[in-house]
């Protein structure tokens, strides 16, 4: 709408894109980087520390409630409200951090924080797609990736140092202040570009309807049964499959469910004719897209080669003689800067000339640079300078690939169900890492590093073969803003 475009210019997207994606990465990092440290410091057993990985489940399952954010209120309202609730939970963590029941109470608060943070992600991704047109979505993809990583670095570094200096209570209180400041900023400066959907007060009544409530109960029962059954079944599975995480099984189940729904799509459409089910229509609308099978295959396979590479990169470089500190500098400093620059550059060039023009150069940069590790493994490159150069170049190529992938994911989100579709697609992204996690160690051991890194390039070929067959590579007239 015209008013939306005017407001977007008044509220500089450079500021709110950076602040929203910083706000997305910040609570995610608190859950994933502070929880296990707090548990360790509180004297938790190794088994209890390992269970903190279950806090990641809301991000794997967020596609289940993504349709709610499209159907009720606005993404902006969801975002601001959830930021306030997360600040309250962080205050709660500050209060219980030194209590006698810290493990029990902190587990509950971290679990709630994880659900809210995953919901926050859905709102931010959906808002980004509502507030920006296709060119701006591409242009700012580097800013969102960079801001997210800066938030993660802030929690992993300065926040942990702050904990060591002043303790958990003050540190969690400081994180709550950060969330409150972000909430206040977004309340004032986020442009109001969305159309109001059904009032939020109607959501509870909708969720308590018979079919929705029954579905939620069945899903909860399946998750609880799977949580108990999976450890019992793991010894019976092939050795490789025993390494698949709970999140990996969720992604595999999601893909299988989508493929089954695709086979039944005509029947599902007839069953939903005349229905006002926002939930079912979000998934049916996604599956009804042109050449959706190719889209799903591309999303699952896009990072296959990179995933195989990343699984074995550190063990390989350590075997060459690179120290942990040298690797941290090459990957976490020089390589991270290269990735930032590449994602910013890639987003800018795609916004200027279109995705179709740049998809091949950027995807080739992501995948062919894997062969540099094959070059190192053959003994051709020696010394710290060569190792650091290879890590940096590969990170630069990966950043260009990230720009392509994020822009393409945004193109695959329907206008009426942006948040739900993005949540669905991002849930499938982890499948490449799951596949690599299952097979990488066995393949590297069997092939040796030289052949293995050649294989990582071969693993990228199926996704590249799909590129000429993909829909949505060209700009869509009228897409983007609300």
pLDDT along the chain (482 residues), means of 10: 42 89 96 88 77 82 89 93 97 90 90 96 95 91 91 89 91 96 95 80 66 59 59 59 68 85 83 68 87 94 92 90 89 89 94 95 96 91 89 95 95 89 89 79 90 95 96 68 38
What pLDDT was estimated at residue 440?
A: 85
Would you call 91 helix, strand, or coil by DSSP? helix
How confident is the model at residue 242, as a pLDDT?
59
What pLDDT shows up at residue 482?
Answer: 37
Q: Token match 């190529």: residue?
A: 397
Please give the Cα distance from 128 to 193 (Å, whole number).
10
Angle in degrees, CA 448, 304, 393, rounded to 5: 75
**Where do the H-state alpha helices sit in 209-354?**
210-233, 246-263, 265-272, 278-287, 292-301, 304-320, 324-329, 335-353
pLDDT, residue 3, reads 40
């Amino acid at each position: 709408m015209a008013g939306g475009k005017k407001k977007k210019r008044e509220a500089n997207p450079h500021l709110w894109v950076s602040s929203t994606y910083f706000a997305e990465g910040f609570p995610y990092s608190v859950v994933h980087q502070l929880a296990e440290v707090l548990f360790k410091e509180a004297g938790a057993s190794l088994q209890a520390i390992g269970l903190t990985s279950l806090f990641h489940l809301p991000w794997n399952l967020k596609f289940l409630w993504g349709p709610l954010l499209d159907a009720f209120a606005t993404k902006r309202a969801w975002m601001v409200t959830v930021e306030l609730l997360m600040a309250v939970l962080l205050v709660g963590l500050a209060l219980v951090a030194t209590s006698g029941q810290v493990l029990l109470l902190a587990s509950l608060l971290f679990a709630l924080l994880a659900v809210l943070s995953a919901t926050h992600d859905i709102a931010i991704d959906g808002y980004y797609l509502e507030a920006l047109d296709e060119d701006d979505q591409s242009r700012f993809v580097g800013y969102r990736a960079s801001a997210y990583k800066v938030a993660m670095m802030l929690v992993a570094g300065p926040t942990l140092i702050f904990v060591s200096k002043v303790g958990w209570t003050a540190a969690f209180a400081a994180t709550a202040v950060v969330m409150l400041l972000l909430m206040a900023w977004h309340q004032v400066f986020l442009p109001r570009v969305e159309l109001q959907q059904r009032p939020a007060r109607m959501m509870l009544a909708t969720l308590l309807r018979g079919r929705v409530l029954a579905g939620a109960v069945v899903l909860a029962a399946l998750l609880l049964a799977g949580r108990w059954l999976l450890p019992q079944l793991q010894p019976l599975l092939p050795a490789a499959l025993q390494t698949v995480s709970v999140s990996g099984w969720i992604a595999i189940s999601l893909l299988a469910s989508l493929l089954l729904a695709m086979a039944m799509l005509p029947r599902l459409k007839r069953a939903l004719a005349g229905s006002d089910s926002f939930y079912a229509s979000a998934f049916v609308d996604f599956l009804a897209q042109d050449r959706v099978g190719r889209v799903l295959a591309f999303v699952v396979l896009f990072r296959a080669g990179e995933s195989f590479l990343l699984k074995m990169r550190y063990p390989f470089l350590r075997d060459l003689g690179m120290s942990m500190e040298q690797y941290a500098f090459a990957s976490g400093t020089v390589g991270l800067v290269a990735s930032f620059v590449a994602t910013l550059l890639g987003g800018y060039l795609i916004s200027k000339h279109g995705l179709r023009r740049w998809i091949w150069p950027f995807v080739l940069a992501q995948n062919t640079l894997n062969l540099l590790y094959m070059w190192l493994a053959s003994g051709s490159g020696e010394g710290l300078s060569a190792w650091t150069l290879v890590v940096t170049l590969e990170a630069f190529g990966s950043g260009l690939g990230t720009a392509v992938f994020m822009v393409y994911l945004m193109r695959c989100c329907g206008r009426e169900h942006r948040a739900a579709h993005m949540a669905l697609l991002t849930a499938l992204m982890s499948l490449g890492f799951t596949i690599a996690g299952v097979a990488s160690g066995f393949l590297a051991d069997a092939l040796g590093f030289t052949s293995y890194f050649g294989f990582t390039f071969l693993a990228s070929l199926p996704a590249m073969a799909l590129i000429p067959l993909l829909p949505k590579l060209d700009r869509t007239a009228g897409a983007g803003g609300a």
